[in-house]
Amino acid sequence: MGSDDGFGKPQKGPLAPLLGKATKFWKQRSMPERVALAVATVLMSLVLMKLLIRDHDNLFVLSEVAHFSGIGFLVYKLLRVESCEGISLKSQELTAIFLGIRLYCSFMMEYDVHTLLDLLTLSATLWVLYTMRTKLARSYNARKDSTRVELILGGCSVLALVAHPSTKHWFLNRVLWALCVYLEAISVLPQLRMLQKEPTVERWTANYVFALGIARFFSCAHWVLQLFDGNSFIFTALGSGLWPVMVLVSEIVQTGILADFCYYYIKSLASGDAVMRLPMMNMAV
């Protein structure tokens, strides 16, 4: 197997002794101990970010950079491996839709550095879509990419009409902003459903999804750290209507969707497996 097809064998690298000891230590722990260690790791990460990052808005920037980096893994795969096997076209379509909406809303409502990052990520996503539909169309497995996008769009649209920001902006813009938040929360679902139908996950697709998990961690960290700032904004907002609650719920849903994948990603990487394996699920097409 070539170096672009799997996770490689990290046990041969300079970090081999450390990874080996960490893996052995983890396997010897009971489930309650593993949960406690995972929680402690997350809390320590949050403490470090609070100490090192004064402006927590920078966490959103880091989230968007991580997302853009993830798309970069897909671009590399399509250029180097010349195959879109294992990549969900529907996830890319949902990503392009919510990025397009968010880019429009950014121009209309709050033009800043996030607008530039969204533009870069959208451009890369559109290139991935174009390449998958044209040059590499034969390697795309539509049968396994079976999530019904129209149901996702319809459900999120209804939810956006019910729960959206109560700002002074035009009503349509507020609804569109809510729609992009809800779409982003579940845009990766078709990708995960597709991967769960495969016996293994090759390196670059796995790197892409893991990058999305990192992006979600930074985004959620922003909201969590707000609670420790001595600022009552979050608590006030939660009592001001349905929209702030739905934003937090969307963050939790998206993080939960990706957390399981990230666990298996790290497990495969630490074990030095040549490929990543997910629990197989028999899902209806």
Domain boundaries, the chain: 10-271
For residue 54, what are its two tokens?
A: 């004064």
Q: Kindly report, residue by residue over 174-233, the tens digit of the pLDDT.
A: 899 899 989 988 899 999 999 888 778 888 899 999 999 999 888 888 777 766 665 544
Cα gap 173→231, rounded to integer Å: 28
Is residue 178 within 8 Å of residue 122, measured between CB atoms?
Answer: no
Distance CA 35, CA 164 (A): 35
Cα distances from 110 to residues 95, 102, 107, 179, 243, in angstroms, run 20, 10, 6, 17, 18
The runs of H, that is alpha helices, within the chain are 16-27, 31-52, 57-80, 89-109, 113-133, 149-162, 171-186, 189-195, 203-226, 233-238, 242-271
Look up residue 217 and give its two tokens.
């961690």
Residue 94 pLDDT level (bands cut at 50, 70, 90) = very high
pLDDT exceeds 60 at position 16: no
Instruction: Kindly report, residue by residue over 40-69, the tens digit of the pLDDT.
Output: 776 777 677 767 777 767 888 888 899 999
CB atoms within 10 A of CB 237: 15
Phi, then psi, of 4 in degrees rounded to 5: -95, 0
Residue 196 to residues 139, 170, 213, Cα–Cα distance (Å)? 18, 41, 16
For residue 274, give both structure tokens. 């040549």
Residue 117 half-sphere exposure toward CB, CA atoms < 13 A: 15
Angle in degrees, CA 31, 189, 88, rounded to 5? 120
> Nearest to residue 184, comparing CAs of 134, 251, 235?
251
Phi/psi of residue 84, nearest 5 degrees = -110, 20
Q: Is the pLDDT of residue 137 over 90?
A: yes
What sign has the CA pseudo-torsion 88, 74, 260, 245? Answer: negative
The model's confidence at residue 3, banded by pLDDT at 50, 70 and 90, is: very low
> Which residues, listed in sequence order, are joined to residue 201 by a DSSP beta bridge?
276
Contact 273, 190 (CB under 8 A): no
Residue 125 CA to residue 221 CA, distance in Å, equals 25
What whole-number percentage of the chain has pLDDT above 90? 32
Residue 285: pLDDT above 90?
no
Q: Which residues pair with 140 in a beta bridge?
A: none
